[in-house]
Amino acid sequence: MNRPLTLSLLLLTCALGLGMAGTARGADDHGDAHGKPAAKATEKAEKASPATSPADVAARIREGVERNNQAGRGAKGEGATVIEVRMPKATPTKPSGALANPIDARRMAAADKEGNSREYIRAKAAAMAGGDDGHGKAEGAAAEVHGQHGSAHWEYEGENGPAAWGKMQPEFSTCSLGRRQSPVHITDADTLVGPAEPLQLRYMPSTASVVNNGHTIQVDLDPASPNTLTVRGSTYKLLQFHFHHPAEERINYKGYSMVAHLVHKNDQNQLAVVAVLMDPGPASAFINKVWTYMPLDNQDRVQMPPGALNVADLLPPDLRYYQFLGSLTTPPCTEGVLWLVLKTPVTLSSEQLRLFSKLFPNNARPTQPLNNRVVREVQ
């Protein structure tokens, strides 16, 4: 009994050169691979014009081989050597309007994200090189002091907590590499005790808005408000103040329940922060006024009535202070900040403290090494 032999032609030259379909019959299982029909098919293929595309090549091969097969099958299709043509599958192209491959879509999204991240880093580096530290306006100061840098998701706890800040983005590297970081633990052994100029704080009723920026409650002063601090021969304008619970600073091994940081900037874009420490006690009318307009949602902002806020109402009567050079206490942890920590704390009620802690149970950076810095203690 005869068996058909299936041959796969992979190249055009092989197909045209074989001319294999014979009409052999009988006991020879392989038949006659050199019959006349094959020769005729070969002759026609040689005279044909060259194929110009894979589709043309496939069509010509099939045409020639089919003639050979038909000639060899006979009336009953027995005893023939049948040649089968198998062309490699072409890579399909996506027709217009076809759905995108999910894997390709994810790769493209990842590439876009990487590109956007690189664009952001270059833009931030250019801004810092040009002296724009984000404090041109009250909202700019908020972004810089609290690290609101778009894709940055730093936190106070967990894997994105303070220990990881310096590795999260290149512009945050100062958080781990800086030598003058804040906050600090101030002890008598670290202080330079002696006379120093008094703080000249000129605060008056102002218009402000209260914002929940995701890291704290912050009060932005109207840029037209004439609130200033004068110290070391320079005048700084009050931009905003915000709160940390517990207080970030420690004094002689004592911690405090809360602190308000009053952020100022002078004409040379230098920052000065006045820290007002707080402990439980009688309720604060000033805190009550701010909490009245406290936003509850992240990035929510509430406008206070015009002239409703006077920051002087927050200050203790005794304005003696500790002075040292440090940094922002949140990413990017920029250094060169003048710190003025008031020695006398003010009070707020336990209920006022509880309201804040419900939103921010812990938004304090741990104290940082002094690294041989001198702290001036003003008598």
- Which pLDDT tens digit goes with each residue over 124-166? 444 333 333 333 344 444 445 555 544 558 999 999 999 999 9
Same domain, 39 and 172: no
Q: What is the DSSP string of 217-244?
A: EEEEEPTT---EEEETTEEEEEEEEEEE
Whether residue 185 has pLDDT greater than 80: yes
Same domain, 140 and 73: no
Same domain, 309 and 207: yes
- 215 catalytic residue (yes or no): yes
Same domain, 70 and 194: no
Instruction: Return the number of other C-beta atoms located less than 10 Å from residue 36's C-beta.
Output: 13
Return the top range by mean pLDDT from 18-22, 73-77, 115-119, 268-272. Answer: 268-272
Same domain, 368 and 297: yes
Tell me if 265 is assigned to some domain.
Answer: yes
Tens-digit pLDDT profile for residues 197-253:
999 999 999 999 999 999 999 999 999 988 999 999 999 999 999 999 999 999 999
Tell me if 218 is assigned to some domain.
Answer: yes
- Number of domains the chain contains: 2
Which residue did the predictor score with more confidence, 368 or 69? 368
Q: What is the pLDDT of residue 69?
A: 57
pLDDT band at 100 (very low <50, low <70, confident <90, very high): very low
Same domain, 262 and 337: yes
Whether residue 90 has pLDDT greater than 60: no
Same domain, 228 and 301: yes
pLDDT band at 71 (very low <50, low <70, confident <90, very high): low
Domain boundary at 61, 89, 117, which? 89
Tell me if 121 is assigned to some domain.
Answer: no
Instruction: Give the whole-angstrom CA distance, residue 136 versus residue 267.
Output: 10
228 DSSP β-pair partners: 202, 237
Tell me if 268 is assigned to some domain.
Answer: yes
Tell me if 301 is assigned to some domain.
Answer: yes
Tell me if 16 is assigned to some domain.
Answer: yes
Tell me if 47 is assigned to some domain.
Answer: yes
Q: What is the pLDDT of residue 174?
A: 98
Same domain, 191 and 324: yes
Tens-digit pLDDT profile for residues 6-20:
334 333 443 444 443
**Candidates 146, 149, 215, 264; catalytic one:** 215
Same domain, 54 and 190: no
Tens-digit pLDDT profile for residues 298-352:
999 999 999 999 999 999 999 999 999 999 999 999 999 999 999 999 999 999 9
Specify burial of residue 5 (Cβ count, 10 A radius: 0-12, 13-18, 19+). Answer: middle
Which residue did the predictor score with more confidence, 3 or 278? 278
Q: What is the CATH number of the domain that holds 292?
A: 3.10.200.10
pLDDT band at 359 (very low <50, low <70, confident <90, very high): very high
Instruction: Return the number of other C-beta atoms located less than 10 Å from residue 361's C-beta.
Output: 11
Instruction: Identify which of 275, 277, 276 has the alpha carbon closest to the alpha carbon of residue 255.
Output: 277
Domain boundary at 62, 89, 116, which? 89
Q: What is the mean pLDDT of the chain?
A: 76
Least confident segment among 56-65, 310-319, 369-378 = 56-65
Whether residue 77 has pLDDT greater than 50: no
Q: What is the pLDDT of residue 61?
A: 64
Identify the domain containing residue 59 by its residue range. Answer: 1-89
pTM of the model: 0.64
Domain boundary at 69, 89, 109, which? 89
Q: ∠320-209-358 over CA atoms, to 5°?
A: 80
Same domain, 250 and 335: yes
Tell me if 149 is assigned to some domain.
Answer: yes
